[in-house]
Amino acid sequence: MEKRIQWSSSTTVPVKPPCTFLVPIYLVRFLRKRQRDFGTVADYLRFLLTAAPGLRRRNHLPNINRVTRRYQPAGQHLVSVNARIPGEVWTELRCLAGGSGVTMCRMFVRLLEIDEAGGLFTEGAPTESVSNYRFEQGIDRSSGVTERHTWIYFTRAPPD
């Protein structure tokens, strides 16, 4: 019989941790404009994450098959952008990035690039909203293969 050790925790602290994104200099002006449009980087990130499921379906988000997470390309002039992001939004970005095999900064930059190119939504605003993310990563020790699984659960938005 197989034995296992399992644990869980419910984390809510800190509510709005200080976070730093490393953004390529060519995107900083666009980010500042979007920050003014939305009020804060946190509100803009929340907006970007609403587009993520559709982008995943259209294969616009990375899916890197590596054990380690891929960082941003070297040689870019990166600018630190500091913000206070609500814990649940930060965790949502972490799940999305982890499931794609990239760092959180790289995922944020990818979402920025897609938004700058005008490709967030193909047909207006999304008709569904994300209710829950789930991300798991594990290893099969017999084969040495690392597997990642990401689930996105939806609730339908109310009709207009």
Question: For the chain, what are the domain ranges?
Answer: 18-156
Q: pLDDT value at position 127?
A: 59
Alpha helices in the chain (DSSP H): 25-38, 41-57, 87-100, 104-116
Task: Tell whether omega for the bond before 14 is within 30 degrees of 0, i.e. cis.
Answer: yes
Please give the mean pLDDT across all residues of the chain.
88
Residue 122: pLDDT over 70: no
Query: Which comes out higher in pLDDT, residue 58 or 85?
Result: 85
Query: In this predicted model, what pLDDT tens digit does every residue of 8-45 receive, in sequence order?
Result: 888 888 899 899 999 999 999 999 999 999 999 999 99
Q: What is the pTM of this model?
A: 0.84
Round to whole Å and give the CA distance between 47 and 30: 15
| Average pLDDT rounded to a whole number, residues 62-82 | 87
Round to whole Å and give the CA distance between 153 and 75: 37
Q: pLDDT value at position 126?
A: 59
